[in-house]
Amino acid sequence: MRIDIITIFPELFNPFLQLGIVKKALEKKTVDIRAHDLRNFALDKHRMVDDYPYGGGPGMVLKPEPIWRAVEQIPQPRRVVFLTPHGRTFDQEKAWEMAQLKNLVLICGRYEGVDERVREELVDEEISIGDYVLNGGEIPAMVIMEAVIRLLPEVLGDEDSVVGDSFYQGLLDHPHYTRPEEFKGYRVPGVLLSGDHKKIARWRKKESLRQTLLKRPDLIKKANLDPEDRDLLAEIEAEIEEGLGGKEDRNEKC
């Protein structure tokens, strides 16, 4: 997969590309990431990429010509995405969709945004990472790249890690525990130490449903639950009604 980033601050991506799974994916040539300095595509000697908005008002607007020139030198087929609060909210489903692409182009906005002709004629899709304001699209680009790259083949050491992630099946992940077995008077749930894989799988599914019901009930409404899921959900709702299944119950007190 090739990812091209159009930005006025390409240096922001240097540490991102040199660490963790992104570095690993680059070393394995699973992904090719290129950050393009928008100023290199400016038309004047001063490398101007922004100008005052027609009609007046505060701030500057990114000019259409440099963005157009930057995108047009990227091979087809390409999916051109503009990172903006106007876009669809990024989620795991969109990450999976993007992970199937061959060429992805991310345009990082700045200032008051980009000339509308870029959005109307050059951009294929607009994406937001949340309802808040950032100075530009560089951090959203990193968020999207990390979410997408970890889904590519052989990037993660254990492919099952992807399957267990929150949102993979539309639910939040179950709680995780590691050594020590006892900490500050609280023990790891006994079922996880039992060696009974069937019971462990059931516990994890139930706790995934519990986490989702308590923290993101909106996801429960959209999840594709099977009969076992619905039975477990009924158990959880009964426990909540009875005041059971709280943190003190799930983390066994010594």
User: Does 124 have pLDDT greater than 70?
Assistant: yes
Could you read off the pLDDT of 150-185 as tens digits, one per residue?
999 989 865 555 554 555 578 999 999 999 999 999
pLDDT at 31: 98
pTM value is 0.85
Could you read off the pLDDT of 59-118 as tens digits, one per residue?
999 999 999 999 999 999 999 999 999 999 999 999 999 999 999 999 999 999 999 999
> Given pLDDT bands bounded at 50, 70 and 90, which one contains residue 197?
very high
Average the pLDDT over 211-216 and give the result. 94
What residues act catalytically?
85, 112, 150, 165
pLDDT at 159: 59
Domains of the chain: 2-149 (3.40.1280.10), 169-253 (1.10.1270.20)
> Given pLDDT bands bounded at 50, 70 and 90, which one contains residue 196?
very high
* Residue linked to tokens 């994890």: 204
pLDDT at 248: 53
Could you read off the pLDDT of 24-46 as tens digits, one per residue?
999 999 999 999 999 999 988 99
